[in-house]
Every structure is written in structure tokens, then in C-alpha cells.
Amino acid sequence: MSTWEPGTAGVVSFPSGRLIRGRGLRHPAPSGFDPDFGVYLLGAAPPLVEWKQRWVRWPDFWLPTNEDKAMDALKEAWLRAEYQRVEIACSGGRGRTGTALACIAVLDGVPARQAVSFIREHYHPRAVETPWQRRYVTRPHWQGAAEGRGG
């Protein structure tokens, strides 16, 4: 298995070298390879796909309904991104996806207070849409998860 090509649309290059694609599901899928693993951040179950996936119940403009499940899914995405094509997606591809990517940035070693700026610079300038999504990224549980990431 292999990872995404750097510079591909929607692909974020993290400091560790891991590459994860963010996207909005209401937009056409990018051309090229399918992901090997996806984390879908939606209020309702995602459509079936041919690759392994995790669904995190996460209503639009809000936060995940179960933080432990969200953390577990995002840690799995971060671990898999070392050797697989991983995709993080919500409906529009900015708020929830940006928040999840910022949390993964913290797991990857980006300081929590800089993670939203990092994702806005490397993914989309309007990623992480709400004040509570920005605060979610800086919560201590992500920093603790980063310390115990075992990667």
C-alpha cells in the first residue's frame, strides 16, 4: 500500500511526513486513487464505500457526539496514514473536516494553539468554522493523546 502524492488537491502534509486527504462529500470525488481508509464525520451514517471506514457521528457546525470514539477514529487515521491513503471527510469539507485535521495535527506534534492556523495554511483558509470547533482542538485530551500516541 502507499500514501497520497504530496501536493494532490486536499492532501495535508503533516510534520511527520504523513499525508491525509480532506474533502467534502457533497463535491465530486477527486480523480485518481481511492482511499484505503476513511473517517466520515456526519450526523447520519455515511454511504457505503469499497474501502475500510469509520463513522463519527458529528452534526454539522457542532462537535462529535462521542469524544472518545472521535479520538479513537482520528488516532487510527493518523496511524494508518504512515502507510495508507487516508481520507477525512464531512459534507462540505471545511468545518468538521478541518477540525478533525487540526486534531490530527496535534497528534502529529503541532502545538494545539497553532493547529488551526496550520490547517488553514495547509488545507483550507476557512477550515474549522466555529468558535467551539477551535476550542475543541485546544482541549487537553488531544495533547494527552499526542503524548501517548506511541508512533
Rounded CA gap, 99 and 92, in Å?
12
What is the predicted pLDDT for the residue at 31? 86
Q: pTM higher than 0.85, yes or no?
A: yes
Q: Which three cell numbers stand for residue 47?
A: 454511504
pLDDT at residue 105 in the model: 96
How far apart CA 86 and CA 81 sit, in angstroms, is 6
Local confidence pLDDT in tens for the 151 residues of the chain: 688 988 888 999 999 999 999 999 999 888 889 999 999 999 999 888 999 999 999 999 889 999 999 999 999 999 999 999 999 999 999 999 999 999 999 999 999 999 999 999 999 999 999 999 999 998 876 665 655 554 4
Query: Residues 27, 123, 126, 138: is their CA dihedral positive or negative?
Result: positive
Task: Give domain 11-144's CATH architecture.
Answer: Alpha-Beta Complex (3.90)
**Alpha helix (H) ranges present in the chain?**
67-80, 95-107, 112-122, 131-137, 140-147
The domains of the chain are located at 11-144
Number of H helices, E strands in the chain: 5, 5
